[in-house]
Amino acid sequence: MFWEQFLPGRNIILIYGAMRDKAVDEIAGLLFPRASTVILTAPAQSRAISAPHLAEMTGHHARHAEAVPDPTQALSRALEIASAEDVIFITGSLYLVGELRRYWTSRNASPAKTS
């Protein structure tokens, strides 16, 4: 797997959200055990599984799991607990990846505020 080959010994923080029609337990069984922390969230889509329900369904696969319903807050939480050597991955739904990519891009494009 990519993580073992290219990121050996690094803590992986995984932000994961999925749609109801996906094989989430199977995917969680493959990915979650490799992460030090899994943050479960839900993209802004009507087909998304809520973060608490996703935690009930898949949390048993993770060493440590947290449910953070809002994706931007999930990313903030990941950044809060990550050290400089840790790696954060966002996966599951492409809706989630796109939503957080837009958020990250707009956040970094905002001019610095002066006091």
Give the CATH number, domain containing residue 60. 3.90.190.20
Query: What pLDDT does residue 45 have?
Result: 92
Q: What percentage of the chain exceeds 90 in pLDDT?
A: 77
Report yes or no on 3 lying in a domain.
no
Report yes or no on 30 lying in a domain.
yes
Give me the number of domains the chain comprises: 1
Asked if the model's pLDDT at residue 111 lies above 90, the reply is no
Query: What pLDDT does residue 73 have?
Result: 97
> 94-109 vs 71-81: helix axis angle to the nearest 10?
70
Which spans in the chain are helix H? 2-6, 24-31, 51-58, 71-81, 94-109
The mean pLDDT value for 5-27 works out to 92
Query: What pLDDT does residue 115 have?
Result: 47
Report yes or no on 4 lying in a domain.
no
Query: What pLDDT does residue 112 have?
Result: 58
The mean pLDDT value for 71-88 works out to 96
